[in-house]
Amino acid sequence: MNHIEIQTVFRSPGQPSAAQIQRWVDAVLQGEHQDTEIVVRIVDEQESAQLNCQYRQKNAPTNILSFPVEIPEGIDLNLLGDLVICAPVLEREALEQGKPLSHHWAHILIHGVLHLLGYDHINDDEANVMETKEISVLSTLNILNPYLEATQP
């Protein structure tokens, strides 16, 4: 069983339950990583913008930030890292993209966990691998491909 610590600094309607978050994380980690720990922190735009500026030199809030743990050799620790999710940004994106909010939460959380596992999207090849994995995990949850589901305003 994977352990998820949820820190809710910001609350809004439509946020997923701890059970939903657990289900989505388990869907990503199924078969590969068991008994891992992840911290999920749900924040407002101010905290997201501050962290995004500090760690990525971008002066705006973002939907998710991933902080993988670098464990020194010889230390046995199952902590994958921390995810910081900005609820207001997710809500705005879901509305703009015409997606169900719960589907967008699942997608972004899965995206963040994949970053903790070492996936990235810096170049097209990496992006294709990561998106394929996201789509595959989401399909196990009966959630459509988020890259096809989006609508243009």
Question: What would the mean pLDDT of 55-83 be, rounded to a whole number?
Answer: 91
Residue 117's domain is classified under what CATH number? Answer: 3.40.390.30
pLDDT of 149 strictly over 70? no
Give pLDDT, residue 153.
42
* Nearest one of 66, 51, 65, 64 to 116, comparing CA atoms: 66
Task: Round to whole Å and give the CA distance between 99 and 113.
Answer: 20
Question: What would the mean pLDDT of 61-71 be, rounded to a whole number?
Answer: 94
pLDDT-based confidence at residue 35 (cuts at 50, 70, 90): confident
Count the alpha carbons within 13 Å of 49 in the hemisphere toward its beta carbon.
8
Give the tens place of pLDDT for each residue, 121-144. Answer: 888 898 899 999 999 999 999 999
Owning domain of residue 112 = 3-149
What is the count of structural domains for the chain? 1
Task: Round to whole Å and give the CA distance between 134 and 17.
Answer: 21
With beta carbons less than 8 A apart as the criterion, state whether 93 and 85 touch. no
Give the tens place of pLDDT for each residue, 88-98. Answer: 999 999 999 99
Give me the chain's average pLDDT, please: 91
